[in-house]
Amino acid sequence: MNSIKESAIQAFRSKDALIGIVGLGYVGLPLMLRYNDIGYRVLGLDVDEKKVDQLNAGQSYIEHIHSEKVSRARKNGFEATIDFSRASECDALILCVPTPLNKYREPDMSYVISTADSIKPFLRPGQVVSLESTTYPGTTEEELLPRVEEGGLKVGENIFLVYSPEREDPGNPNFETRTIPKVIGGHTAACLEVGVALYEHAIDQVVQVSSTKAAEMTKLLENIHRAVNIGLVNEMKVVADRMGIDIFEVVDAAATKPFGFTAYYPGPGLGGHCIPIDPFYLTWKAREYGLHTRFIELSGEVNQAMPEYVVSKLMDGLNESSKALKGSRVLVLGIAYKKNVDDMRESPSVEIMELLEAKGCRVAYSDPHVPVFPEMREHHFNLSSEPLTAESLATFDAVILATDHDKFDYEMIRQHARLLVDSRGKYRAPEAHIIKA
């Protein structure tokens, strides 16, 4: 019997273990709150000193996670730090760091690798390391395994390694960290046992798979499924529009079929940290095996073309009023990537704004969840959210509904926008000044 393994399992089951969350963003922060809520001691590690200071002051920097929850977690013993040497104190290290694409649409593993390099001097017997970042099959074995074992530890014997992909859906009121089933794969059978013990109290249902690779592929399949189906319905939208058919009416009607159909709705493009990015992780890895993922690449082409499609519909609308795009004042409604959140990652709204600015438009935005345009790695607008009133709407030549937040007054927008480009299907009745995009 492996006494180190049994001791680790017992520490998680008795809640004596210290849980280390590395990366305190949209994934790490809810996970921290969940472990803290159920009585575990939690230490958060992050490289962003400003973020760490905010959390230690009991303040949240994510809109849908209220500061009261962070404050309560602090009172219950949660602490955040930039000192990665404290990883040695933790019985579990759960890595929740970004995995973006570079400009060539190849995986950028720098965050995972730098995080692994930061913690590896402080690894010790009895710990479990869990990677939650979405990535290509083989990452845990190829990148984490050698780093974890570099100092003489042996995975499966005196330290444990698992992959368990995050499944957060920010702003979704129907699901929370606890209620979303958790897929987990271990590098060895012992790793899997320890990993299950780590998560079984925090998550209602833990789903075991045979390997870290199978768990990595599971996460990619989930997001590829969405990307391909959204690409399909976005392509159908263009066809339906040319034929004078409302695609939203068609999807609603098709969704009444009680089997064999899942409703996906078109939009101005793909956003968020998962759906626009993750499919290309498999595309990249498949090339190593001499394979081409044609469905993924085709859906990527269709979805990436949607911001330009929205701009082309705006141009058509302005032409009807004998107006040029250049010099027109255009208001973009909603710049978060989806409704009712403040998350800007990969937002198609930002690409629409850049396309409009490049064509000479004077661009503004209104978003109740994003009062000031944030600093982003690749995009920057020196703008603040415009107040949305009848008077302000009337000053714009056109309004583009890009993200359909519930806080918008849609009737007021309908009445006072001179030209309204609707990319979200909020306005079903035909009107002369409303263009469906």
Whether residue 20 sits in one domain with residue 162: yes
Residue 431 has pLDDT above 70, yes or no: yes
Rounded Cα distance between 437 and 431, Å, is: 14
- Model pLDDT, residue 345: 86
The residue segments making up the domain with residue 366 are: 249-271+305-436
Choice among 88-97, 268-277, 337-346 with the minimum mean pLDDT: 268-277
What would the DSSP string read from start to end of 219-233? HHHHHHHHHHHHHHH
State the Cα–Cα distance between residues 131 and 147, nearest whole angstrom: 13
Residue 300 in domain:
no
In 3D space, the residue among 403, 328, 385 whose CA is nearest the CA of residue 359 turns out to be 328
As a whole number of angstroms, the distance between CA 275 and CA 252 comes to: 23
Statement to judge: residues 167 and 20 lie in one domain: yes
Q: Tell me the pLDDT tens digit for each residue of 26-44.
A: 999 999 999 999 999 999 9
How confident is the model at residue 380, as a pLDDT? Answer: 79
318: which 2 tokens? 């302005």
- At 412 the pLDDT is 97
Residue pair 239/216 in contact by the 8 Å Cβ criterion: no
Average pLDDT over all residues of the chain: 94
Residue 319 falls inside a structural domain:
yes
Do residue 65 and residue 203 come from a single domain? yes
The answer to whether residue 131 sits within a structural domain is: yes
Does position 350 have pLDDT exceeding 70, yes or no? yes
Say whether 274 is catalytic: yes
Does residue 337 surpass a pLDDT of 70?
yes
- 210 and 255 in a single domain? The answer is no
Sign of CA dihedral 195, 196, 197, 199: positive
Do 141 and 258 fall within a single domain?
A: no
Task: State which H helix or E strand residue 193 sits in.
Answer: helix 189-199
- Strands (E) in 240-355, as ranges, are 329-333
> Do the domain assignments include residue 51?
yes
**Looking at the structure, do residues 166 and 262 belong to the same domain, yes or no?**
no
Beta-carbon contacts of 355 under 8 Å, excluding residues fewer than 6 positions away, are 307, 308, 311
Q: Quick check: is 420 in a domain? A: yes
**What six digits make up the tokens of 226?**
């969405």
Chain centre distance of CA 9: 31
Q: What's the confidence (pLDDT) of residue 1? A: 54
List the beta strands (DSSP E) in 201-291.
206-208
Please indicate, yes or no, whether residues 175 and 29 belong to a single structural domain of this protein.
yes
CA distance 126 to 20: 14
For strand 182-186 and strand 329-333, is the pairing parallel, antiparallel, or unpaired? unpaired
pLDDT band, very low/low/confident/very high, at 328 (cuts 50, 70, 90): very high
Cα angle 43, 45, 46; round to 5? 150
DSSP β-bridge partners for residue 131: 95, 163
Average pLDDT over residues 340-362: 94
Q: Is residue 187 part of a domain?
A: yes
Percentage of the chain lying above the pLDDT 70 cut: 99
In a domain, 313, yes or no: yes
**Confidence band for 64, pLDDT divided at 50, 70 and 90:** confident
Domain boundary among 174, 196, 218: 218
Instruction: Choose the weakest-confidence range: 105-119, 169-183, 228-242, 318-332.
Output: 169-183
pLDDT of amino acid 392: 95
Could you tell me how many residues make up the chain? 437
Provide the CATH number for the domain around residue 189: 3.40.50.720
In tens, the pLDDT along 392-413 reads 999 999 999 999 999 999 999 9
Partners of 401 in the beta sheet?
Answer: 333, 422
Q: 320 and 197, same structural domain?
A: no
**Given 90, 96, 191, 274, the catalytic residue:** 274
Gap between the Cα atoms of 248 and 263, Å rounded: 10
Q: Note whether 189 and 254 are same-domain residues.
A: no
Query: Which pTM does this prediction carry?
Result: 0.92
pLDDT at 106: 86
Terminal-to-terminal C-alpha distance of the chain: 63
Rounded alpha-carbon distances, angstroms, from residue 25 to 11, 52, 128, 257: 26, 11, 21, 39
- Residue-wise pLDDT for 208-234, tens only, equals 999 999 999 999 999 999 999 999 999
Residues 9 and 151 in one domain: yes
Same domain, 253 and 203: no
* Domains identified in the chain, total number: 2
Assess whether 180 and 254 both reside in one domain. Answer: no
Structure tokens given for 62: 């994510």
| 285: in domain | no
CB 201 within 8 A of CB 13: yes
